[in-house]
């Protein structure tokens, strides 16, 4: 399988994001990257937006619904968010969307910081396999993988995709 060129995908996604912000009238959106890959993508998108949006990070380790099955991830880094997200437009960013459970956990954590005006979901890659009715507003590329196959983003510089 040929994986997409990550630089081209990021460039196209940044253009789509600029257009969405303009069309939706999102004033002062907060870019929130889900650790770790989502943060790398958020930082890349912020550069494309000329640094005009603040970047925050979210570590959803304590909000996962599989915590009892898999235990705590050994590298919990904590979230770095403003004291409140009350009435802010949130652009939630993840590297790969699959089941939708990571996004559910991220939204649960965000609401602990207040009630956002809106949440828009941006994902670099979509590999399907949904278990929850969660869909990205913008997606860089969609991949169809073999059963049991996953894709992994490594970085932060350079960003690289590999199959796992």
The DSSP 8-state label assigned to residue 39 in this structure reads H
pTM of the shown model = 0.92
Domain, as residue range, for 154: 6-163
Per-residue confidence (pLDDT) for residue 64, from 0 to 100: 67
Per-residue confidence (pLDDT) for residue 76, from 0 to 100: 64
Residue 39, in any domain of the structure: yes
On the 0-12 / 13-18 / 19+ scale of CB atoms within 10 A, 7 is exposed
Residue 31, in any domain of the structure: yes
Per-residue confidence (pLDDT) for residue 136, from 0 to 100: 98
Q: How many domains does the chain have?
A: 1
pLDDT (tens place) for every residue of the chain, 164 residues total: 689 999 999 999 999 999 999 999 999 899 999 999 999 999 999 998 887 788 999 999 888 666 555 555 556 678 999 888 999 999 999 999 999 999 999 999 999 999 999 999 999 999 999 999 999 999 999 999 988 899 999 999 999 999 98
Per-residue confidence (pLDDT) for residue 51, from 0 to 100: 78
Whether the Cβ atoms of residue 139 and residue 125 lie closer than 8 Å to each other:
yes
Residue 1, in any domain of the structure: no
Please name the residues in contact with 34: beta carbons below 8 A apart, sequence gap of 6 or more. Answer: 57, 58, 60, 92, 93, 94, 95, 102, 103, 106
CATH number of the CATH domain containing 35: 3.40.50.2020
């Amino acid at each position: 399988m040929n994986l997409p060129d990550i630089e081209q995908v990021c460039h196209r996604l940044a253009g789509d994001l600029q257009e969405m912000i303009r069309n939706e009238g999102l004033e002062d959106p907060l870019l929130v990257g889900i650790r770790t890959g989502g943060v790398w993508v958020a930082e890349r998108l912020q550069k494309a937006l000329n640094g005009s949006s603040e970047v925050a990070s979210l570590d959803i380790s304590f909000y996962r619904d599989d915590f009892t099955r898999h235990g705590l991830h050994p590298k919990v880094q904590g979230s770095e968010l403003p004291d409140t997200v009350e009435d802010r437009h949130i652009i939630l960013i993840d590297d790969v969307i699959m089941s939708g459970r990571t996004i559910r956990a991220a939204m649960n954590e965000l609401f602990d910081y207040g009630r956002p005006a809106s949440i828009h979901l941006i994902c670099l890659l979509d590999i399907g396999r949904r278990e929850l009715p969660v869909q990205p507003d913008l997606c860089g590329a969609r991949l169809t993988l073999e059963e049991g196959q996953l894709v992994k983003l490594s970085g932060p510089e350079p960003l690289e995709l590999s199959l796992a």
